[in-house]
Amino acid sequence: MKTVSQAVESIIQVKPFVAEALCEGLINISSLARQIHPMVEKQTGKEVKEGAIVMALNRLAPQLNFSLNRNLQKLLETLGDIIVRSNLTDYTYKNSSDIFKCHAKVMQELSSHQDIFYTWVKLSG
């Protein structure tokens, strides 16, 4: 069977919003302990005092904070470059037999304008 700390950790890990709020100090720990009390007892297979759950939550918060920050850092490192553009205009045209010819004409016209950003999206399905 699991220890109280292991049970609390496994319950909080499947609730990412609770974990984040716990790290930020936005949750009443005693109230959270009362809420997860039945789940902790079920996982440990024994009677557990709420004070033990409170202590496990207090010990867990710094570990979660470190883990969340490390995971966020990994995500940002793998994300790559982000380009933000403003003042964009979106045009939508009905599909037709000569739409490719029209796009070719537009691209020909835009080729001499280095300050224009042009993208074309084809949705399949």
DSSP per position, the chain: ---HHHHHHHHHHT-HHHHHHHHTT-S-HHHHHHHHHHHHHHHHTS---HHHHHHHHHHHHHHHHHHHHHHHHHHHHHH-------S---------TTHHHHHHHHHHHHTT-TT----------
pTM score: 0.55
Tell me the average pLDDT of the chain.
Answer: 85
Of 2-6, 65-69, 73-77, 107-111, which range is least confident? Answer: 65-69
- The band of 87, judged by pLDDT with boundaries at 50, 70 and 90, is confident
pLDDT given for residue 52 in this prediction: 95
pLDDT at 107 over 70: yes
Cβ atoms 23, 59 nearer than 8 A: no
pLDDT over threshold 90, residue 84: no
Question: Hey, what amino acid is at 48?
Answer: V
pLDDT score, position 122: 74
The two three-digit tokens of residue 117, written as one number: 């950003």
